[in-house]
Structure 1
Amino acid sequence: MKKYLVGGAVRDFLLKIPIKERDWLIIGSSPKEMLDIGYQQVGKEFPVFLHPQNHEEYALARTEKKHGRGYAGFICQTSPKITLEEDLYRRDLTINAIARDEQGNIIDPYNGQKDIKLRILRHVSNLFQEDPLRILRVARFAAQFAHLNFRIAPETLNLMKKMIYELPSLSPERIWIETKKSLSTKNPQIYFTVLKNCGALKIVFPEIQDLFNNKIVSPNNNEPENNIGVIALSTLKIAANLTNNIAVRFATICKDLGENKEQIKGYKNKIHKETIGTKIIDNLCKRLKIPNFLCNTAKIINKYHKQIDDIHLETPDKIIKLFDEIDVWRHPERLEHMLLAKEANFRTSNKFKNQPYLSKKFLYQAYSITRHINVSEIIKKGIKGKEIKKEIFNQRQKKIFKWKKLNNKYKHLYPQFKNN
């Protein structure tokens, strides 16, 4: 019985980056022996065990044989006779098919160390194409290691293109797990770019694929010709630099769903135009079983983000109405999320990259001066029922009016303040 550290832990050790979790491989043992020495088996399909003290995962060496469609269509075979090289051969990428023994020696039968030096994501063997989940995993690794200049080997990308017909067999949960991990990387836009380049985006995220169907030409010809999809990915890249919050990042990629002509055509005469985007997001989230919090954040930003661009030109009642509709009083984080998504979009334009985002400061201050209303004093005046809500609204309007008049530093930015 021999023990080896395998997979991501060895890869990250060689890359000299923090190791998040350790996976161990056992050669020359059996399920009975593992149970006899105190390990706890988890799952029934795969021979994986938890260490009795530290609860790290230990897997018996195995081979897999394809017998059906999808990532679950495999027969798993274990035996004390299976070698380390045979187990590593079934793994996805060469950089993940490296082992380290208990003495610290590196075992690398498929040249993973060479690909680490070359910064290449390359499949180990043609067994790669038997599991469609690997398309998403490679896209995720491309996003995860983009800051280290990793790229996908052309032959691996070609293999991914041939595998997309099996993507519908993936469960929504597995798709979301890989997407969530990708949204947490430094370059989440790379994940969607890779999926688009190999033809998987139109199958897994057809709503996002549709964003690439509309070209946008700058009216002053000072910006390169783009389309909504390209801008969405650029915005996501900037959003990832502004925040680690995946709700904001997910909302950013969904912000313009419903803007594409083909998407609007698909919902023609069914729902009001301004709710097309939220309906598309709702369907996307239900299909992939995306958590409600992320879904609601994306829908709110999709529906209201356009009102923020010129919010400083609006009357106080319009500003308070926006706050009411997104329920910023009970959920102040919604304002923060929306402003982060909008700032990211603002900075996609070359002329605004280094400019202050005025709407952000304006709305934060407007919220700050209107959030505290003394409801007890309103009730003491004899105001009751629905009239209380109206009085709160009116008091908040007055606070905005007073703030505009007294805050001279905004007058040079917003000429309309001078007349209020």
Structure 2
Amino acid sequence: MKIYTVGGAVRDKVMGRPVHDVDYVVVGSTVEEMLSLGFKPVGKDFPVFLHPETKQEYALARTERKVAPGYKGFVFHASPDVTLEEDLLRRDLTINAMAMSEEGELIDPFGGKRDIEGKVLRHVSTAFSEDPVRILRLARFAARYTDFSVAPETMELMKNMVSSGEVDALVPERIWKELSQGLMEEKPSRMISVMHECGALARLFPEIEALWNVPQPEKYHPEIYAGLHTMLALDYSARKNYPLTVRFAVLLHDLGKGTTPSNQWPHHRAHEERGAPLVDNVCRRLHVSNMYRDIAVMTAREHGNIRRSSELRSKTAVMVLERCDAFRRPERFVDVINATECDLRGRKSDTVSFEDIPFPQRDYWMMILNAAKSIDAAAIIQSMDDASEEIPRALHNARVDAAADAVNAMRFGHIKKIEVGKKDAIP
């Protein structure tokens, strides 16, 4: 029996990055021997065990064979005669196909260290094409290792996988798992761009693909294209270290622009209203949890209103807060505001730094929200019949009055003035 460290732990050690999860492969052993040594079996499809003391994972060296479409269509073979090189051959990328012996010797049969030095993401073998999840994993690694390129032959292989329909076998839960991890990487736009280049984006996320090469008014969007704008906004959300709720909302916030008839370009009137149901459809298709779906839908529907806050009547502003359930769940509304900030920042110009433009809308909306929340709802309810159908209207009107008083106090200098939502502001 020989034990080797494999996968990400070796890759990160070679790259000089912090090592987190450590996986081991066991060569020359059997299930019976592992059990006799106190290892606990946990693998369903192939032999994986937990160390009796450290609880780390140890897998028997194995080979695999494709027998059906999709990422589940494999049978595995684990036996003492499977070599370390045969086990590494089944892995996705050369940088993940290295091992290290207990003595610290690097075993690198497929040039992983060379590709780390050359900053290249390259498939190990043509077996890469048998598992469509590997397209998403490679795209996620591109978002993590921002200075790595995809080997031309690997990109060509992924294009062939898409054209053959292999990616169509991916299940929603696995797509969401890889996407959600990729969005949390250093430069998430690279995941989307790699998927776009190989064609997977058009198959898995046609609503996002539809944004490519769709023009916007240059006066407000110097970067011109809606797809590029979304990528810039997404990377800004990563630089701000915003949570997944915000990053996912940013990714989907402008889907409505992909449905604008070309004879109306570069304008996209009412894209917010058109975009919200598209976002809902994407979330339902991927089985995304309500937390992510709700914030993404609210962002798509309301980001224009949030940017133009001071142009709105107090009644309309309160209606926005009510639609976002901001009085009960203010933390979600903060996520919507943060996603809207990313929308403002996600623009590129040679003369203007959009990251330096003020974003007073956050303070403005929090002022209105706090004012509307300050009303004594219990007193209003007690003053009416408990069963009265007028209670919601009375609460709404009281919130509108409180919001209007706060805006007037700001305008007349009783509280700090907030300059926001001018008509020549960026839409």
Write the deviation string for residues 111-158 of structure 1: whole angstroms up to 9, x where unpaired: 211211222111112222222211111001111111xx2221122111
Q: For residues 314 and 21 of structure 2, what CA distance do their matches in structure 1 show? A: 52
Offset at residue 283 of structure 1 (A):
2.2
Aligned residue number for residue 106 of structure 1: 106
Q: CA 1:203–1:218 in structure 2 vs 1: closer, same or farther (change >3 Å)? A: same
Greater CA deviation, 96-105 or 34-43?
34-43
Q: CA 1:372–1:348 in structure 2 vs 1: closer, same or farther (change >3 Å)? A: same
Offset at residue 96 of structure 1 (A):
0.5
Q: How does 1:258-277 map to 2 (within 5 A)?
A: 258-261=256-259, 275-277=273-275
Contact 2:172 2:287 in 1 (8 A): yes
Q: CA 1:247–1:81 in structure 2 vs 1: closer, same or farther (change >3 Å)? A: same
Aligned residue number for residue 409 of structure 2: 406
Q: CA 1:273–1:16 in structure 2 vs 1: closer, same or farther (change >3 Å)? A: closer
Aligned alpha-carbon RMSD (Å): 2.4
Q: For residues 112 and 138 of structure 1, what CA distance do their matches in structure 2 show? A: 14
Q: Percent identity?
A: 38
Q: For residues 379 and 67 of structure 1, what CA distance do their matches in structure 2 show? A: 65
Secondary structure of 1:215 counterpart: coil
Contact 2:298 2:324 in 1 (8 A): yes
Write the deviation string for residues 233-267 of structure 1: whole angstroms up to 9, x where unpaired: 111111122233111111111111122236899xx
Q: How does 1:371-390 map to 2 (within 5 A)?
A: 371-379=373-381, 381=383, 385-390=388-393
Contact 1:189 1:236 in 2 (8 A): yes
Offset at residue 167 of structure 1 (A):
0.4
Q: CA 1:158–1:366 in structure 2 vs 1: closer, same or farther (change >3 Å)? A: same
5+ residue gaps in structure 1? 266-271
Offset at residue 415 of structure 1 (A):
11
Aligned residue number for residue 267 of structure 2: none
Q: For residues 338 and 271 of structure 2, what CA distance do their matches in structure 1 show? A: 25
Q: CA 1:110–1:388 in structure 2 vs 1: closer, same or farther (change >3 Å)? A: same
Correspondence for 2:335 among 323, 337, 358:
337
Aligned residue number for residue 222 of structure 2: 223
Q: How does 1:293-332 map to 2 (within 5 A)?
A: 293-332=291-330
Contact 1:242 1:344 in 2 (8 A): no
Contact 1:3 1:24 in 2 (8 A): yes
Write the deviation string for residues 31-55 of structure 1: whole angstroms up to 9, x where unpaired: 1211222212223321211222222
5+ residue gaps in structure 2? 264-269, 423-427
Secondary structure of 2:346 counterpart: coil
Contact 2:234 2:346 in 1 (8 A): no
Q: For residues 15 and 253 of structure 2, what CA distance do their matches in structure 1 show? A: 35
Q: For residues 218 and 68 of structure 1, what CA distance do their matches in structure 2 show? A: 49
Aligned residue number for residue 37 of structure 1: 37
Offset at residue 29 of structure 1 (A):
0.2
Q: For residues 412 and 184 of structure 1, what CA distance do their matches in structure 2 show? A: 33
Contact 1:213 1:260 in 2 (8 A): no
Correspondence for 2:238 among 237, 240, 247:
240
Q: For residues 113 and 348 of structure 1, what CA distance do their matches in structure 2 show? A: 36
Alignment-mate amino acid for residue 201 of structure 1: L
Offset at residue 192 of structure 1 (A):
0.6
Aligned residue number for residue 177 of structure 1: 177
Aligned residue number for residue 116 of structure 1: 116
Q: CA 1:414–1:296 in structure 2 vs 1: closer, same or farther (change >3 Å)? A: closer
Greater CA deviation, 68-77 or 293-302?
68-77
Offset at residue 345 of structure 1 (A):
1.0
Offset at residue 275 of structure 1 (A):
4.8
Write the deviation string for residues 204-247 of structure 1: whole angstroms up to 9, x where unpaired: 11111112252224148x824x3222211111111122233111
Contact 2:384 2:391 in 1 (8 A): no
Aligned residue number for residue 154 of structure 2: 156
Q: For residues 244 and 415 of structure 1, what CA distance do their matches in structure 2 show? A: 24
Q: CA 1:103–1:318 in structure 2 vs 1: closer, same or farther (change >3 Å)? A: same
Aligned residues: 406
Q: CA 1:391–1:125 in structure 2 vs 1: closer, same or farther (change >3 Å)? A: same
Alignment-mate amino acid for residue 223 of structure 1: P
Aligned residue number for residue 77 of structure 2: 77
Aligned residue number for residue 60 of structure 1: 60
Contact 2:100 2:106 in 1 (8 A): yes
Aligned residue number for residue 425 of structure 2: none
Aligned residue number for residue 207 of structure 2: 207
Q: CA 1:379–1:126 in structure 2 vs 1: closer, same or farther (change >3 Å)? A: closer
